[in-house]
Amino acid sequence: TPMLRSLVGSEMCIRDRINTLIYFQPDVEDFSEIRSLLRLGLRVKATDNFFININYEYIHDSSPPIGTDKKNSKYGFKIGYEF
């Protein structure tokens, strides 16, 4: 079925960095069929070279494949180093 895709993203810089991504994909023939994604991220400097990333992702599919959930959440934590 035809799907309409729309993507909204924003990035704000305060002292550290906040990233946001919103993805919404309805079926153009049946608006009850929806796929969506929300991704949030925060990057914080720990020292001059080390940083910490904290991430959250939420995925929704109103008609997922058999054996999968309609809703999924993921959390992430990373430590990085910049030269």
52 pLDDT band, cuts 50/70/90, is very high
pLDDT in tens, 4-39: 555 555 445 555 688 888 888 888 788 788 888 888
pTM above 0.85, yes or no: no
Separation between Cα atoms, residue 62 and residue 59, nearest integer Å: 10
Separation between Cα atoms, residue 41 and residue 34, nearest integer Å: 23
The residue that leads in pLDDT, 51 or 1, is: 51
Please give the pLDDT value at position 70: 94
Please give the pLDDT value at position 18: 81
**H/E element, 7:** strand 6-13
